[in-house]
């Protein structure tokens, strides 16, 4: 059984492509593919995605917890601050922009939960 393989770059992702010369004579080919050969493409980091997906599948309540906690914050940031996209470029600047937005969100929450007068009284004490 001769297998062929080559590597290509598509949309900036490095893909490994495989196929076998045994496909035309294989008795399972009809279940596998309607084409003469089954061609398989795998991203070079696809194994990492599979590990993460397996971890998420093992703990489905983690996704629900994230939906209830973190996703609400991102939705609020987008709606309240109009943050549909970042205004800066490069990772350090985007990190800074996101940190400022989260800081403003947290300050607003700290003021809103106990109330401004309670917060001022606590700071004076």
Q: Which of 40, 52, 36 is CA-nearest to residue 15? A: 40
* pLDDT per residue rounded down to tens, the chain (125 residues): 567 788 999 999 999 998 888 888 888 888 888 888 888 889 999 999 999 999 888 888 888 888 888 878 888 888 877 767 888 999 999 999 989 988 988 888 888 888 888 888 888 88
Residue 71 lies in domain: 64-124
Is residue 59, in this structure, part of any structural domain at all? no
Number of domains in the chain: 2
Specify whether 78 is located in the same domain as 110. yes
pLDDT at position 51: 94
Specify whether 32 is located in the same domain as 76. no
Classify 19 as helix, strand or coil.
strand
Is residue 18, in this structure, part of any structural domain at all? yes
Specify whether 43 is located in the same domain as 15. yes
Q: Whole-structure pTM over 0.85, yes or no?
A: no
Specify whether 45 is located in the same domain as 97. no
Is residue 74, in this structure, part of any structural domain at all? yes
Is residue 56, in this structure, part of any structural domain at all? no
């Amino acid at each position: 059984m001769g297998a062929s393989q080559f590597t290509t770059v598509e949309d900036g992702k490095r893909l490994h492509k495989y196929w076998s010369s045994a496909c035309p004579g294989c008795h399972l080919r009809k279940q596998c593919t309607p084409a003469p050969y089954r061609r398989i493409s795998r991203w070079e980091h696809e194994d990492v995605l599979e590990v993460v997906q397996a971890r998420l599948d093992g703990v489905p309540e983690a996704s629900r917890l994230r939906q209830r906690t973190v996703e609400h914050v991102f939705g609020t940031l987008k709606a309240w601050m109009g943050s549909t996209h970042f205004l800066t470029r490069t990772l350090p600047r985007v990190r800074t922009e996101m940190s400022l937005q989260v800081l403003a969100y947290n300050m607003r929450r700290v003021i809103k939960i106990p109330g401004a007068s309670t917060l001022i009284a606590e700071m004076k004490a």
